[in-house]
Structure 1
Amino acid sequence: MKKNFIYHEIAGNIANKIKTGVLKEGERLPSVRMLSKEHGISVNTAKRVFLELEAQSLAQSKPQSGYFVSPLSYLKLPLPEASKPLPITNNKEPNDLINGVYSTMGRHDLTLFSIGVPSGNILPLAKLKKEIVLATRSLKEGGTEYEPLQGNIKLRRMVAVRSLAWEGWLKEDDVITTNGCMNALALCLIAVTKPGDTIALESPCYPGILQLAVSMGLHVLEVATHPVSGIDIDALKKLLPKINVCLLVPNFNTPLGYCMPDKNKKEIVSLLAEYDIPLIEDDTYGDIHFDPERPKCCKSFDTDGNVLWCGSVSKTLAPGYRVGWIAPGKYKEQILKLKLIHAISSTSIIHEAVGNFLMSGRYDNHLRHFRKTLQENYQRYALAISLYFPEGTKISRPQGGLALWVEFPKHIDTAELYNYALKKQISIAPGRMFTLQNQFQHCMRLCIGLPWTEDLGLKLKQLGTLAKMLG
């Protein structure tokens, strides 16, 4: 390991002891000099260990006293139950509920806990505007021409370079740009399925993916998940004879926020390749990790070109820019043909601007602050929930991403809570949106991508009061 990254490993070991309860809340941590001597590292490197722990809100310093384990009230709330969907295909969308929730997008009079995108207040908007101006000046004809079918070369090159962090080893020629990740997923599904085929999805699952699958005439099989480790591999194995394609969000899935362990990713890739079942991987949230290291992807273990890896900056940088991409493996020619039919070209100026932003290093600088903000938000939300929500409430422990999954006692209907909350200018995403089956009526997803304010805390308190009234 390179010397510069030793502090990541040491911080990770201490963080694990805190999260597992070996080091207790309020307990004193070793001093900087003690840590330096114990691990044979410089004092500056030891200081970086504590800066990393502070960034994760796991440690706090007290003047003249040293470092201590931070209050971790949110870890005392129980986890939601593992999902148990029925092993049957279903296409029953809760359309009225979904349409009602998404009709609130863009409404500035509401507190939008319901929409899973970051607020512009925590995005580098001024820097992005400058990149748009520069892209207009640098592109031939001011960016009004069609770009190559495969997409902006600068953006593709940077996506490939960034794949080294998760051992993807992509080359720019492996990548095709798209108009956001949903466009990427749609192209992948059109390429590898036909109406009447069966798709396996995680349960709960992002509503947009459910709607996309149903709109294409696919039969949906929902697969059981655990709130920490993700999809139940044994449950998936039982469904293999019935499915034609699998679509997973293994890194910080919305709404649960789990990160699938590497060994599970590797096993799933091998399993699906053996059955010649394409795996579409949605890695939209992969860069929003709360731990120091970016997690690997299923694509990291793909040796047969069977994984169609999709990503975007919609959840990290600019939702409205609609910048996405695919590394489609052995399906590259099909995807290129479909892109020509459905889009012809991506938006030249926007894709050039994002490519420049990634190349400049500003993206990584933004991500460091962005991830810290989201992790702190999660902890503040969790503390508010522990104080104000009904007894028996359970919450997920997202390892990254933008979502917090809340499970109430079963008698609380979150579709009903949604209607009451909306009258108080609060919008939530009821759990029934995240499934095609009769489940999750007592759950909801909250977006943690809003800037924390005193008013936001009061809105969570108000939401808890409304939930108690329903009890």
Structure 2
Amino acid sequence: MDPLYDRLARELRECIVTGVYGAGERLPGVRTLSRTRGVSVATVLAAYRRLEDDVLIEARPRSGYYVRNRPTKAIPAPARSAPAAQPSPVTGQELVLSLVKASNDPAVVQFGAAVPDPSFLPVRTVERALARAARQHRNRAAAYAFPPGLPELRRQIARRMSAYGCATGADDVVITNGCQEALVLALRAVTRPGDVVAIESPTFYGLLQALDSLQLEALEIPTDPVDGLSLEALQLALERWPVRACIATPNFSNPLGYCMSESRKRRLLTLLGARGVPLIEDDIYGDLGFGPRRPPPCLALSEGTGAEVLYCASFSKTLSPGLRVGWLVPGHHQARVEYLKYVLNMASPTVPQLALADVLHSGGYERHLRTVRSDYARAVGRMIEAVTRHFPAGTRITQPAGGFVVWVELAPQVDSLRLAQLARAEGVSIAPGPIFSATQKYRNFMRLSCACPWHSDVETALARLGTLTANLSIG
């Protein structure tokens, strides 16, 4: 159960968000709130400190706690991308390894890799589940869980997917080593070296590396930070080029964070279905929306559209990146995908599968999601506000509807590769824009991960990034 101060902080946060307490208004005094809520003074102080950490309130000497003033002018989002309208091989991904290595360095302030800090994860829940799995299933834990994977985990995944509209059974699910492997297996099932694959632009650099490793050509499609993939541009691309597959993240894409509307998802499916082009759907952030309702994946909307959907997801962003458990629903490519999975690495580790089946069965996953969604929403809000305060005028930033990354457009003369070098020398990691493009576009863009604990070092790092950006814009 959550600490009492945390529950009180959530209630007060809701009052602030809904306008019960407006900007600049004084919150109830500590002793008054202690008396009316029937909690200790220490609990109230801890709740107020939590809201201070979230940059929602501020303490004024000898006066009390007040709702902070929010920026009066919303910072604009970047414009829709405009990549080259022709396929190309993937280049410029060498920087990514150093970026992900920095995520393991405790001395570096992490804005680069989209890896959630352990404070956002149910570490103890997963730890207990792993211990139970090793203790209660000793013989099974020592054996291979050959493709398609452990049946109890596949059943739990199928039940979750059916809850948001997918007609998926346990036998339709293949367990993988994270979502990255699911994407690779899906691509190998429907493409051959030299084929053209349509992708969002900008897109997750891990996907670009997968395309590169499979000798596929990327066709970057303009993508809007609010509406998502341009269906008009995709239609023109399908008419002009021999596209063999399309990969998209319609729910809270990385790095833009958009959520495609259901009507646009259906249009996408109909468009691809008419051309016989399979959609590889990456839904890794689907459970992390900030709204009251989980948006359906394209797979749930595909009936009657003629579209073939290969659905990929994982628990890396919600439960534990280190467990490396994902899954793929490959449709009629099931037999081919199971064989490819076996040839690639025989099986995904057994103990993590047992543990995650336990977490899902016990309801621990849903309980965690109820908390972490609001945690990520606050984290994104803090980041947007800090960028608004610390970065030069003219900076643009996305307003994601879920997930925990933001995409930042800097002045045209700012080279984000150079910015990344300067920031790294000062102990700050960012993800420069060119690694999100097959052709190294977006040189004046960067992605920031918001899934970090908020403290003075983070605020200082963002202020320093803002100063470095300002210097580069005039240098």
TM-score norm. by structure 1 comes to: 0.84
1:363 to 362, 365, 369: 365
Letter of the 1:368 counterpart: R
Letter of the 1:222 counterpart: E
Provide the aligned C-alpha RMSD in A: 2.6
Select between 167-176 and 217-226 the one with higher mean Cα deviation. Answer: 167-176
Counterpart in the other structure of 1:412: 414
1:342 to 324, 341, 344: 344
Size of the aligned set, in residue pairs, is 420
1:117-144: CA deviation from partner (whole Å, max 9, x where unpaired):
1111221112211101111122251501
SS at match of 2:288: coil
Deviation of the 1:429 alpha carbon? 0.3
Deviation of the 1:437 alpha carbon? 2.2
Counterpart in the other structure of 2:78: 80
SS at match of 1:95: coil
Counterpart in the other structure of 2:234: 236
8 A Cα contact 1:195 1:218, kept in partner: yes
1:182 to 172, 180, 183: 180
Counterpart in the other structure of 1:297: 297
SS at match of 1:191: helix
Q: What does residue range 33-182 of structure 1 map to in structure 2 within 5 Å? A: 72-73=70-71, 76-139=74-137, 141=139, 143-182=141-180
1:212 to 189, 210, 228: 210
Deviation of the 1:362 alpha carbon? 1.0
Cα distance between partner residues in 2 of 1:179 and 1:313: 10
Letter of the 1:291 counterpart: G
Cα distance between partner residues in 2 of 1:71 and 1:297: 37
8 A Cα contact 1:305 1:330, kept in partner: no
1:94-133: CA deviation from partner (whole Å, max 9, x where unpaired):
1343233233231111011001011112211122111011
Deviation of the 1:147 alpha carbon? 2.0
Cα distance between partner residues in 2 of 1:27 and 1:299: 46
Deviating above 3 A after TM superposition, structure 1's stretches of 4 or more consecutive aligned residues are 23-28, 68-72
1:376-407: CA deviation from partner (whole Å, max 9, x where unpaired):
11111111111110110000001001211111
Counterpart in the other structure of 1:314: 316
1:289-326: CA deviation from partner (whole Å, max 9, x where unpaired):
01111111110122357100011001111101100001
Counterpart in the other structure of 1:434: 436
Cα distance between partner residues in 2 of 1:288 and 1:435: 24
1:451 to 447, 450, 453: 453
1:345-387: CA deviation from partner (whole Å, max 9, x where unpaired):
2211111101111111111111121111111111111111111
Unaligned runs of 5+ in 1: 1-13, 29-53, 61-67
SS at match of 1:308: strand
TM-score norm. by structure 2 comes to: 0.83
Cα distance between partner residues in 2 of 1:446 and 1:236: 27
Matched, 1:331 2:372: no
Cα distance between partner residues in 1 of 2:465 and 2:67: 30
% identical aligned pairs: 35
SS at match of 1:266: helix
Counterpart in the other structure of 2:266: 266
Cα distance between partner residues in 2 of 1:129 and 1:308: 31
Q: Kindly tell me: are residues 142 and 175 of structure 1, through their superposed partners in 2, closer, same or farther at Cα, counting changes over 3 Å?
A: closer
